[in-house]
Amino acid sequence: MKAIVIHGPKDLRISDRAVAPPGDGQVLVDVGAGGICGSDLHYYHDGGFGTVRVREPMVLGHEVAGTVAAVGAGVGRVGPGDRIAINPSRPCHGCVYCREAKYNHCLNMRFYGSAMPFPHIQGAFQQQLLVDEQQCVPVGTEASVNEAALSEPFSVALHALRQAGPLAGKHVLVTGCGPIGALCAVAARYYGALTVTITDIVSSPLAVARTLGVDEAIDVAAEPERLERYAAGKGHFHVVVEASGAQPAIEAALRVIRPRGTLVQVGVGGNVTLPLGAIVSREVEIRGSFRFHEEFEWAASLIASRRVDLSPLISGVFPVQDAIAAFEQASDRARAMKVQIAFQ
């Protein structure tokens, strides 16, 4: 069985790995599609991010869907042949935060493809993957396995928009039109925002966003004044979803957000310098959004029923042996929104 393994910066290898048969409550999955995420790219280019570094070979990937190959004893939710999305979130259910049902803050989270703990948590970019029954969400056959593999990033977006509170009658701005930003725009539209505006400094992802039903997509590098006009009268947007992590985007957001507006910070950069006076005098609410939990089931369900159509986000699908080409395209925002790998 092939797996995509990171050994260090720019040292990505396709390796053979063994997989065990499913035990009690376990499911063996033929992985069909795996999407490359920003964190995978950080491991690929830099061998990690922040202070985290790969210290042993680690399988990458956590955005996967596939087909059930075999089930262990006691498994009832899925059976062989079922197409499923795989939830990569595995909290411990025993720590203080799990006890408070804040599972995404679990002190012992085992999230696929993470070099934060040692030994590292191996990822899901494998031709076969052994998972727990609870991780399996059946998705039927209406949506493709590639769409199903978007369940994880769409969960991130659904969770982020949940931080924004009800969107009834709200004008929503999304800053940053990468895959997460674009999915946040879809989620905002899905939750009934009155208008959805999205910005970026690169034009090609904005063209994709336009096909996803946003009201306005602004290239702030080319037309900064189109956003700035919303600064009049103490701002226009009730909600900003900040998906870039870039200081200029956050600064602009704080100029166009209304008093008592909510800025959901989902993009992660390093340190940013913020004008405290604006936050105070407009009583802006800034809320961090981190991963997801129950939203994974919702995301898979909305994709499975085609209540949302996320297929325009898939920029390309590469066979597993071309993983490096896939990672290279995924690194180029002008050419890639979401790049996936086909494992079969």
List interacting residues with a second copy (CB under 8 A): 50, 93, 96-97, 99-102, 104-105, 107, 158, 161-163, 165-169, 190-192, 194, 233-234, 245, 259-260, 265-277, 279-290, 294-295, 297-298, 301-302
Identify residue 277 by its one-letter amino acid code: G
255 versus 287: smaller Cβ distance to a second copy: 287
Rounded-to-integer distance, Cα 175 and Cα 272, Å? 15
Rounded-to-integer distance, Cα 1 and Cα 236, Å? 53
The CB-of-268 to a second copy minimum distance in angstroms stands at: 5
50 versus 319: smaller Cβ distance to a second copy: 50
The CB-of-97 to a second copy minimum distance in angstroms stands at: 6
207 versus 246: smaller Cβ distance to a second copy: 246
For residue 150, give the nearest of 344, 343, 337 by alpha carbon.
337
Rounded-to-integer distance, Cα 65 and Cα 11, Å? 25
* Contact by Cβ (8 Å): 139, 150: no
28 versus 263: smaller Cβ distance to a second copy: 263
List the beta bridge partners of residue 342.
33, 319
2 versus 282: smaller Cβ distance to a second copy: 282
The CB-of-285 to a second copy minimum distance in angstroms stands at: 5
Identify residue 149 by its one-letter amino acid code: A
Cβ-based burial of 277 (10 A; exposed 0-12, middle 13-18, buried ≥19): exposed
Rounded-to-integer distance, Cα 209 and Cα 220, Å? 15
The CB-of-67 to a second copy minimum distance in angstroms stands at: 25
The CB-of-126 to a second copy minimum distance in angstroms stands at: 27
